[in-house]
Amino acid sequence: MKKVILFGATGQLGKEIAKELVKQGYELTVVVRNEQKAKTLSHITSKYIVADVCNKSTIENILDKQDIVVSALGKSVSPNDKSKLTFKQVDYEANKNILDEAIKKGVKKFVYISAFHSEKYLHLEYFKVHHDFSELLMKSGIDYSIVKPPAIFSAFIDLIEMAKKGQLVNIGQGDKKTNPIFEGDLAKITVDTINMQNSISEAGGKTIYTRKQLNEIIQNEINPRKKLRTIPIGLFKVSLPLIKLFSKNTFDKYAFFIAVMQHDTIAPQIGTMTFEEYVKMKKNS
């Protein structure tokens, strides 16, 4: 039985990857920030290590006798995430700490969740750090698999909460298209890539939607009596310089949101669950 150590296991995608790894028969250890986080995964695995991956000294030797590293580690793009760490500190530097240790310990495989078309938006911090780490991984000499989704369904949970409160709005025309993927579908794709040598896999959901359609699906399911309003995207653009003065983290998030609102981001249609099914599931959960 091959041993896998998973980073980012307590996120929505990380939990699904953990379940899929166990399902496929891997011996799983998860890395968590504290004992409380470990408890949220106790129904999946009892093997865990408490470490701060942003502090290189705390992960020394934790990869001993591990065959495979899977990293779903990344800073949340949610506006509700108040952590002070930057995209660079989490998505690049922390993953680099893991990679350095993996090289030192002779780990055979490193699987990394990156971002679809990150190479096209290097002027944006969110995409740049994903691209830079992917490049580092490909040059490391370790057999790698890089998985690149356009977005996962759980990234829209904030919008579901906004719809409940009658606060959901369309930003701009909302005509740009994308195909986010259910994290359970992406987890299976991710684990399957363990057996692919030096691979890059782009993976989206089965259905392509406009940004406006995604909002309408949420609104009609969660709060159908409320009508969606539209806010011009220009209002967000002009506010960016001011936001940057007060918070680089908030600026990077809003710059990311504005960018994806203005471009089609359509990955190969691989997932099986539709966004409609996901929103219904979340409504009833």
Distances, alpha carbon 272 to alpha carbons 158, 220, 268, 269, in Å = 23, 22, 12, 9
pLDDT, residue 109, reads 98
C-alpha dist (Å) from residue 174 to 161, 167, 220 = 19, 17, 16
Rounded to two decimals, the pTM is 0.94
Residue 269 is given by DSSP the state B
Average pLDDT, the chain: 94
pLDDT at 265: 95
Whether the predicted pLDDT of 259 surpasses 90: no
Give the C-alpha separation, 200 to 93, whole Å. Answer: 21
Cα separations (Å) of 208 from 201, 243, 270? 18, 32, 11
Whether pLDDT at 85 is above 80 = yes
Q: Which amino acid is at 233?
A: I
Phi and psi (nearest 5°) for 272? -110, -30
pLDDT value, residue 272: 96
Residue 199 has pLDDT above 80, yes or no: yes
Amino acid at residue number 276: E
pLDDT at 236: 77
Domain 3-149+181-202 has CATH 3.40.630.30: no
Strand runs labelled E in 153-194: 169-171, 177-178
Q: Which of 126-130, 190-194, 257-261 has the lowest mean pLDDT?
A: 257-261
Residue 81: band (very low, low, confident or very high) from pLDDT cuts 50, 70, 90:
confident
pLDDT exceeds 80 at position 179: yes
Q: Which of 123-127, 133-137, 157-161 is most confident? A: 133-137
Q: Is the dihedral of CA 135, 137, 140, 145 positive or negative?
A: negative
Residue whose pair of structure tokens reads 């998505």 in the numeric block = 91
Q: What pLDDT sits at residue 237? A: 84
Provide mean pLDDT across the span 20-37. Answer: 94
CB 102 within 8 A of CB 136: no
203-242: pLDDT as tens digits: 999 999 999 999 999 999 999 998 888 988 888 788 888 8
Of 5-9, 33-37, 99-103, 117-121, the range with the lowest mean pLDDT is: 33-37
pLDDT score recorded for residue 214: 97
Asked which of 119-123, 141-145, 225-229 is least confident by mean pLDDT, the reply is 225-229
19 confidence band (pLDDT: 50, 70, 90) = very high
Query: Average of pLDDT values for 80-89?
Result: 87
> Given pLDDT bands bounded at 50, 70 and 90, which one contains residue 245?
confident
pLDDT of res. 209: 98
pLDDT at residue 285 tops 80:
no
Tell me how far apart the alpha carbons of residues 153 and 179 are, in angstroms, rounded to a whole number.
10
How is the chain split into domains, by residue range? Answer: 3-149+181-202
| Percentage, residues of the chain above pLDDT 90 | 76
- Using the predicted structure, report yes or no on whether residue 82 has a pLDDT greater than 80: no
